Each structure stands twice: as C-alpha cells, then as structure tokens.
C-alpha cells in the first residue's frame, strides 16, 4: 500500500446519535487501525446501519466526533469511503462496464459525467480490469437485470472499489444471497481485502460470518433498558473482540463472552 499506515486511522470519540427523542447510539468510543476488518453484529434496529451512515459522512453525530486519518470526516460522503448495501444499488440502464467506469467519469468530468478519447479508454480499461478481478470479466456488456444476485453484488463491490476508497462500508452485503454464493463472496472479499489492504466495516446478522471474516468483531447492544421509556437509552459497543489470523479469540477474551456469542467462535489454544 502506498499510503502511510495509521495506527489510529479512525477515532470515534464519545459519539451519540439521537433522532427526536429516540437515542439510537450512545457513548461510542473506538480506535481502528488502518487495514482492520471490523464486523458489526447486534439485534435488529440497534443502530448498526446508523453507525455506518456516520462513518460514511451521510449523517453527523448528535454528539462526539469521528476522525479519519486525524481529520474530521468530510461533511458528505467522498471518495475515501466506498459503500455497498444489501439491496443492489447499481444503475439498471447501464452495462456492467459502464456501471463501474461511470464512477471515474463522474470524478474526472463532474459536469458532463463523460470522458472522451484516451481518458475514456483508460477509464474503461481500469473498470474492465477490476471487473475481471471480481469475476465479471465475461459479463462486461450485460445489463444488471441479466445478472444473478451474487453477480450484482460483485458489480456493486467493483463500483465501490473503482474509486480506490481507503474504507469500505458494507451493510449486510450478502444478506439476500444463497449460502453457497455467500461462501464465494466471502472468499472474494477476503482476497480483495488482502490485496488492497482496505479498512472494512461490515454489518452482518450472521454471527458466524462476523467471526469468520473479521479481524475484530464489534457487538452492538443496549446495556440499559427502561420499559417506561424505551427510547431513552441507545446501543453501545458491548463487546469488542479481537480475532487472530485464524479468526479465533484469545482464550481470556473468549471466557468473558456470554454463551450466545461464544457459541459461534472457537478459542485460540
Ligand atoms: N433518519 C432517521 N430518522 C429517525 N429514526 C431513524 C433514522 N434512521 C434510523 N432510525 C431509527 O434508528 C434505529 C436504528 O436503526 P438502524 O437501521 O441503524 O438499525 P440496525 O441495527 O441497522 O437495524 P437492522 O439490523 O434491522 O438493519 C431504528 O429504530 C430506526 O427506526
């Protein structure tokens, strides 16, 4: 990787997010090194997607701050962060190749959104190379409606990666895919992460997936609940579990985990 490696690449300090009287997230504190693969799990509605939107810069926290490489996040999403959602977010009217090349065209020619001559050829070559890497080299001229769900997610990943983000945000990217296809996508994602050394945040509902992919698993949960005021307290990161390269947790950490979390994990011996 050409950029300097940061140990405190992303710093989340006392972050709260509240909508009207509903506290969704409270007191989030987190320090992430560049190149970590963080998986985020937690009950439905506890604020995982909200946290991704804060990291993307789509929303600002009600309180607290998030620094990226020592600087406050830009006021809106920029090329340093790419995102892939569960539901396919590709352009239906563009071919596979154009879906990816358009990212470069929009950046290099923001007014027209089109490149010409050499610049156009280079953008299309880069896009084709990346599409080959995600296994879509044979489908450059197809349209999204002609692709399977797994292929559409490969396309969405290529769309995010063409902008060379330093951070990739994935919101249940494989949630709608069959188990066999999910396994292929896991392999692809780990290959890309190893090769590009991205910092990844991935929301998943599948604890086993979270443990098998992440170098660090973050559990979001509400430690305080008031039955008379269900909106009064938000979720926090209740467990922050480092995983070794074999995706196992240190024995001491493992022994601290509640049974339902530990059940999907093997301890390091
Ligand atoms: N823009 C918003 N305005 C008001 N409330 C919101 C907004 N965005 C999210 N919420 C609320 O915040 C809570 C957390 O939502 P969020 O989608 O972040 O949870 P989640 O953990 O990702 O859920 P799931 O696992 O079901 O996708 C929900 O109660 C949701 O209704």
Question: Does residue 12 surpass a pLDDT of 90?
Answer: yes
Pick from 20, 23, 24 the residue to mutate for probing ligand 1's pocket: most ligand atoms within 8 Å of its CB: 24
Question: Does residue 186 surpass a pLDDT of 50?
Answer: yes
Collapse the DSSP code of 2 into the 3-class scheme (helix H, G, I; strand E, B; otherwise coil) and give the result.
coil
Under a CB-based contact definition with an 8 Å cutoff, are residues 144 and 152 in contact?
A: yes
Which atom of ligand 1 is the closest one to the Cα of 52? 18
**How many other C-beta atoms can be found within 10 angstroms of the C-beta atom of residue 90?**
17
What local confidence, expressed as pLDDT, does residue 112 receive? Answer: 60
The model's pLDDT over 149-166, given as tens digits with 9 standing for 90+, comes to 999 999 999 999 998 899
Task: Print burial letters for 72-89: b (CB count within 10 Å at least 16), e (below 16).
Answer: ebeeebeeebbbbbbebe
Domains of the chain, earliest start first:
10-93+143-262 (3.40.50.300)
pLDDT confidence band for 207 (50 / 70 / 90): confident
Which of the pair, 7 or 113, is modelled with greater confidence?
7
What local confidence, expressed as pLDDT, does residue 79 receive? Answer: 79
Atom 18 (ligand 1): residue with closest C-alpha?
47
What local confidence, expressed as pLDDT, does residue 1 receive? Answer: 43
CA angle (11 as vertex; 25, 188 as ends), nearest 5: 90
Query: Parallel, antiparallel, or unpaired: how do β-strands 216-221 and 10-19 relate?
Result: unpaired
The model's pLDDT over 118-147, given as tens digits with 9 standing for 90+, comes to 778 888 999 999 999 999 999 999 999 999
The model's pLDDT over 30-73, given as tens digits with 9 standing for 90+, comes to 999 999 999 999 988 899 999 999 999 999 999 999 999 999 98
Atom 3 (ligand 1): residue with closest C-alpha?
19
Task: Give how far the C-alpha of residue 169 lies from the chain's centroid of Cα atoms, to the nearest Å.
Answer: 2
Q: What is the ipTM of this complex?
A: 0.96
Which atom of ligand 1 is the closest one to the Cα of 17? 12
Share of the chain above pLDDT 90, in %: 54
Residues belonging to the chain = 269
Question: Does residue 2 surpass a pLDDT of 50?
Answer: no
pLDDT confidence band for 110 (50 / 70 / 90): low
| Cα–Cα distance measured from residue 80 to residue 102, given in angstroms and rounded to the nearest whole number | 17
Ligand 1 contacts (CB < 6 A) are 19, 24, 42, 44-50
Which atom of ligand 1 is the closest one to the Cα of 172? 27
Q: How far is CA 8 from CA 13, 33, 66, 253, 265, in A?
A: 12, 5, 11, 22, 27
Query: Which are the contacts of 81, defined by CB distance < 8 A and separation ≥ 6?
Result: 55, 56, 57, 165, 166, 167, 168, 169
For ligand 1, the distance from its centroid to the CA atom of residue 82, given in whole angstroms, is 20
For ligand 1, the distance from its centroid to the CA atom of residue 220, given in whole angstroms, is 13
Pick from 15, 17, 39, 46 the residue to mutate for probing ligand 1's pocket: most ligand atoms within 8 Å of its CB: 46
Q: What are phi and psi of 211, to 5 degrees?
A: -75, -35
What local confidence, expressed as pLDDT, does residue 5 receive? Answer: 59
Q: What are phi and psi of 242, to 5 degrees?
A: -75, 140
Share of the chain above pLDDT 70, in %: 94
pLDDT confidence band for 223 (50 / 70 / 90): confident
């Amino acid at each position: 990787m050409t950029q300097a490696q940061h140990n405190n690449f992303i710093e989340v300090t006392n972050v709260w997010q509240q909508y009207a009287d509903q506290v969704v997230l409270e007191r989030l504190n987190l320090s992430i090194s560049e190149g970590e693969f963080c998986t985020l799990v937690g009950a439905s509605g506890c604020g995982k997607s909200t946290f991704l939107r804060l990291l993307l810069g789509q929303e600002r926290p009600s309180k607290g701050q998030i620094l990226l490489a020592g600087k406050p996040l830009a006021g809106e999403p920029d090329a340093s962060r790419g995102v892939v959602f569960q539901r396919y977010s590709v352009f239906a009217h563009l071919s596979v190749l154009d879906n990816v090349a358009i990212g470069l065209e929009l950046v290099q020619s923001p007014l027209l959104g089109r490149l010409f001559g050499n610049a156009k050829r280079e953008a299309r070559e880069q896009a084709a190379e990346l599409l080959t890497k995600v296994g879509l080299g044979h489908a450059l001229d197809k349209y999204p409606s002609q692709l399977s769900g797994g292929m559409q997610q490969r396309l969405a990943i290529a769309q995010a990666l063409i902008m060379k983000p330093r951070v990739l945000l994935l919101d249940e990217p494989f949630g709608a895919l069959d188990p066999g296809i999910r396994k292929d996508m896991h392999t692809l994602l780990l290959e890309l992460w190893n090769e590009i050394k991205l910092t990844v945040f991935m929301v998943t509902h599948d604890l086993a997936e979270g443990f098998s992919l992440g170098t660090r698993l973050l559990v979001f949960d509400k430690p305080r609940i008031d039955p008379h005021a269900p909106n009064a307290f938000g979720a926090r990161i209740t467990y922050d579990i480092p995983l070794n390269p074999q995706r196992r947790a240190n024995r001491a950490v493992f022994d601290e985990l509640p049974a339902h979390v530990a059940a999907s994990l093997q301890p390091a011996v």
